[in-house]
Amino acid sequence: MLVFAASDKGGTGRSVTSCNIAYRLSLAGNDVAYLDFDFGSPTAGAIFEISKIDCGADVGLHSYIGGTISSPYQVDVRATSDRSGLRMLHAKAGRLALFAGDRGGAEFPSSAEKVRRCIELFRRLDQEFKVCVVDLSAGRSHALHMALNATAAPEIRSIPVRWLVFHRWTRQHIVAAHSLVYGNDGLLDEGTRAGHGREALQDAIRFVRTAVPVLNSPLSADRPAQAKWLRTCNDELKQLALRNRLGHSATLGETPVEPVLQWREQVISDADVSGNLANAATVEAFDELARNLTDDGVWEGL
């Protein structure tokens, strides 16, 4: 299965949430590949805490797609992460491979040749991994364009493809996520031009709400005015999301505001939760997103 992670804006939590979903999927026994297609800022290595590639690799995905190398560079996250918690082997865990971008790599325009290399890459990795998570540059990017064109190719048609659009739970982010999918030259327009059926493509898209503020937090217990304001705000956002076709039925799930992630982009391990550093609800949310993403019944029934 190919999973494309998109967002209109930067700072939506797309990369951190996608890395955590990939990690949870691997813990559950799946072989998972994480492809850093955020070409302007290839920093997935930092989230997995692999210092030698924290800003990309010597010859990574840029070089592969540009045609300089014939086989993309990959690292095994469990073997190379600086975090001992991630290196720990769990009996039933699957592989987790990171395909990093080039160090100092920048955005580059799409071309038929580059799309062809993406098709080749996706085909090869789909045979090797149960799930391939592809983290795309924000907005109507060249990366998005390449992904839409590659997945429209006949060679990819038999592979299940799912699209996740990440947004924060604010007015600006809801409107932006709507625009990325339904707006002019957005995902659906661009995908249709690439050869996708509009309805089928729309069926393959779900939204993910990130860093959703927790209502009824102990902090607001002695501030009834604040608690009431938060509830009103949340209700207004729900209405706005519905009007923008980002309602419950189009949403895969959400993550709560996590203090650790406000300070640091990282994978949240079970040890972070048992050590009372991170909230259990955060890992539960990542687990639920991972399950909903890969369970055909849940995905289709949404």
Ligand X SMILES: Nc1ncnc2c1ncn2[C@@H]1O[C@H](COP(=O)(O)OP(=O)(O)O)[C@@H](O)[C@H]1O
Distance CA 36, CA 24 (A): 18
Task: Indicate which of Mg ion, ligand X, none lies near residue 184 (CB less than 5 to 8 Å, by partner kind).
Answer: none
Q: Encoding tokens for residue 247?
A: 């309602």
Between 63 and 210, name the residue whose CB sits nearer to ligand X: 210
Task: Indicate which of ligand X, Mg ion, none lies near residue 220 (CB less than 5 to 8 Å, by partner kind).
Answer: none
What is the contact surface with Mg ion in residues (CB under 5 A)?
Answer: 15
Asked whether the beta carbons of 269 and 84 are under 8 A apart, the reply is no
Residue 200 beta carbon to ligand X: minimum distance, rounded to whole angstroms: 26
Cβ atoms < 10 Å from Cβ of 295: 11
Q: Encoding tokens for residue 32?
A: 């998972």
Residue 247 beta carbon to ligand X: minimum distance, rounded to whole angstroms: 21
Between 37 and 129, name the residue whose CB sits nearer to Mg ion: 37
Task: Indicate which of ligand X, Mg ion, none lies near residue 7 (CB less than 5 to 8 Å, by partner kind).
Answer: ligand X
Residue 18 beta carbon to ligand X: minimum distance, rounded to whole angstroms: 8
Between 74 and 210, name the residue whose CB sits nearer to ligand X: 210
Q: In the sheet that 2-6 helps form, which strands lie side by side, from edge to edge?
A: 75-76, 96-99, 32-37, 131-136, 2-6, 161-168, 205-212, 251-256
Between 17 and 292, name the residue whose CB sits nearer to ligand X: 17
Task: Indicate which of Mg ion, ligand X, none lies near residue 70 (CB less than 5 to 8 Å, by partner kind).
Answer: none
Distance CA 190, CA 167 (A): 20
Residue whose C-alpha is closest to residue 170's, from 254, 285, 258 = 254
Between 15 and 266, name the residue whose CB sits nearer to Mg ion: 15
Residue 231 beta carbon to Mg ion: minimum distance, rounded to whole angstroms: 31
Residue 276 beta carbon to ligand X: minimum distance, rounded to whole angstroms: 17
Q: Encoding tokens for residue 149?
A: 């064109």
What is the contact surface with ligand X in residues (CB under 6 A)?
Answer: 7, 10-17, 166, 210-211, 255, 257-258, 261-262, 265
Between 15 and 74, name the residue whose CB sits nearer to ligand X: 15
Residue 43 beta carbon to ligand X: minimum distance, rounded to whole angstroms: 8
Task: Indicate which of Mg ion, ligand X, none lies near residue 67 (CB less than 5 to 8 Å, by partner kind).
Answer: none
Task: Indicate which of Mg ion, ligand X, none lies near residue 49 (CB less than 5 to 8 Å, by partner kind).
Answer: none
Residue nearest to Mg ion (CB): 15
